[in-house]
Amino acid sequence: NLGMYGQILIFVLAFVSTSLITTTTVWNQWAVNGPTSSSVLTAIWAWRGIWGDCMQMYGGQYQCEEMQSMLNEKGYILAIRAMMCIALSLSVIGCFVTLIGMECSKLLDGNLSAKRNLMRISGVLFLVAGVLTLASVSWYTGVVVEDFFSVFTQDNMIIYEMGAALYLGFVSSALALLTAILCFCMPGPKPEDEDSPPYKYTPTGYTVREPYETKVQIPKSKDKYSEYV
């Protein structure tokens, strides 16, 4: 069944995109120090994300500093946190909705119309999750690039470049959007009542027969005066 295999592909893509969105959200390597940093820090590897900053020494020891109160954070960091958390929540919900809406699922078995609606809802969830993830990583990438070419940053000892989490975020957003498109294109088999055309009343044909001609012979009445003739 091509439709069933297509829905299995949708669920696999949904699970993979959700896993990548989760990894992107919790991974702190949104930005890493590049070779353009000061030569004094060649033995130090630093990276940062939306939850904190970390630094690893040459001997293998590393320390991480979690970001402090929300009131002290930059506005774009708080916005990206919120968007990524919403995207993660929607993608997780979308996975469960996709699992229920699959044709092979025993839940809502026999109710094809409800399953098709669930697949469409899953498509909306992954569409929003993909857009939020794409907006988040694009925003952070713009900040990293702007800081990299900033005059004030050139005087600092650590200069950050794009980290692996950003590339992973672009991939996860693309998979989420692809999942949404497939959910809209292959929601599942249609119920039989949707395939059949609407019922139209057509009167049954009948044959109109001409009425029989009945000939009634009226006997001629004798003239009462003829008796006397």
Span 17-35, pLDDT tens digits = 999 999 999 998 999 887 6
- Which of 40-44, 102-106, 146-150 has the lowest average pLDDT? 40-44
3 Rama sector, left if φ>0, alpha if ψ -120 to 50, beta otherwise: alpha
2-26 vs 75-101: helix crossing angle, rounded to 10? 160
Whichever domain contains 118, its CATH number is: 1.20.140.150
Q: Is residue 199 part of a domain?
A: no
Q: Does residue 219 lie within any of the structural domains?
A: no
The 10s digit of each residue's pLDDT in 93-106 is 999 999 888 887 77
Residue-number span of the structural domain to which 152 is assigned? 2-188
pLDDT score for 137: 96
In-domain check, residue 193: no
The reply to whether 147 falls in a domain is yes
Cβ-Cβ contacts under 8 Å for 163 (sequence gap 6 or more): 29, 30, 31, 32, 47, 48, 49
Structurally, the chain folds into a number of domains equal to 1
Would you state the pLDDT for residue 37? Answer: 59
Tokens describing residue 7: 């829905």
Q: What pLDDT does 203 receive?
A: 54
- Per-residue model confidence as pLDDT tens digits over 108-138: 777 778 888 898 999 999 999 999 999 999 9
Q: Could you report the per-residue pLDDT of 72-83, keeping only the tens digit for each? A: 778 888 999 999
The pTM score is: 0.75
Confirm whether 198 is domain-assigned.
Answer: no
Name the band, by pLDDT with cuts 50, 70 and 90, for residue 157.
Answer: low
